[in-house]
Amino acid sequence: VIISRYSSLAIVLHWLSALMIFAAIGIAWSFDDMPLSPRKLEMISWHKWVGITILGLTALRLFWRTSHRPPALPANMPAWQKWAAHGTHGALYILLVLIPLSGWAMSCAKGYPVVYLGLVELPCLVNKDLELGKSLREAHEWLNITLLVLLAAHLGAALKHHLLDRDNTLSKMLPWIRPRTSNPQ
Ligand code: HEM
């Protein structure tokens, strides 16, 4: 059978992740050049909570993915585009695990344990080590630059399928967009 769209749970998790990623990056860019102040510390806390939430959402999505088959790619897609799609999706999952983990470890290495929502202190997997903290800070930044490049490709591909190829790719993740009937896949 051809599955025509993602399940409702997969769709909710996808768009919630998108919203949280947008928030995490927006908050980080706003506090980045702020001088140290209570306001900045509060924003860093929110950034960490949103980031840990993304890690949780990604764990749920990977779990979903092991037990469900996503809808097929358009049959007429060239092989290289199928590879590019699978590669991008795989790399996005990896980054959505590594970016929060690098942030979490960075906080611990700098000597600030992460207290999720101000309620639950998360365990530290690394000890305080300021040199390690600096390296993790750079890793966090470079992983984020890679994420932004891949998100641009992901968004660009979704729009290309919708606007140029005029196929059903986008409506599999946004079902209230009317599926195209002329080109069923
Ligand atoms: C997918 C989730 C996350 C995204 C997209 C993200 C994104 C970012 C970005 C774009 C920056 C600014 C880097 C720069 O200056 O270029 C940043 C900084 C930072 N992030 Fe994250 N982050 C995430 C998760 C986390 C988590 C889970 C933590 C900690 C628990 C964390 C802790 C930090 C800290 C402490 C900084 C500031 C580093 C500094 O200025 O010294 N991040 N993050």
- The predicted pLDDT at position 180 comes to 62
What own/partner pairs with CB < 8 Å and gap ≥ 24 does 12-15 have? 13/57, 13/60, 13/61, 13/64, 14/61, 14/173, 15/173
Q: Which helix (H) or strand (E) holds 22?
A: helix 8-32
| Whole-angstrom distance, CA of residue 137 vs CA of residue 105 | 9
Instruction: Give residue-wise pLDDT tens across range 59-110.
Output: 999 999 999 989 999 989 999 999 999 999 999 999 999 999 999 999 999 9
pLDDT value, residue 175: 86
Dihedral sign from CA coordinates of 29, 30, 32, 38: negative
Atom of ligand 1 nearest to the CA of 101: 27
Ligand 1 and 143: CB distance under 6 A: no
Asked if residue 99 has its Cβ within 6 Å of ligand 1, the reply is: yes
Nearest CA among 64, 69, 71, 56 for reference residue 16: 56
pLDDT of residue 176: 82
- How is residue 38 written in tokens? 């209570």
Whether residue 172 has its Cβ less than 6 Å from ligand 1: no
Mutate to test the pocket of ligand 1, among 21, 140, 145, 147 (most ligand atoms within 8 A of CB): 140
* Cβ count within 10 A of residue 141: 13
Report the nearest atom of ligand 1 relative to the CA of 52: 27
Q: Which atom of ligand 1 lies nearest, measured to the CA of 96?
A: 1
Q: Which residues of the chain fall below pLDDT 70?
A: 1-3, 179-185
Q: What is the pTM of this model?
A: 0.93
Q: What is the pLDDT of residue 164?
A: 94
Length of the chain: 185
Is the distance from the beta carbon of residue 136 to the nearest atom of ligand 1 less than 6 Å?
Answer: no
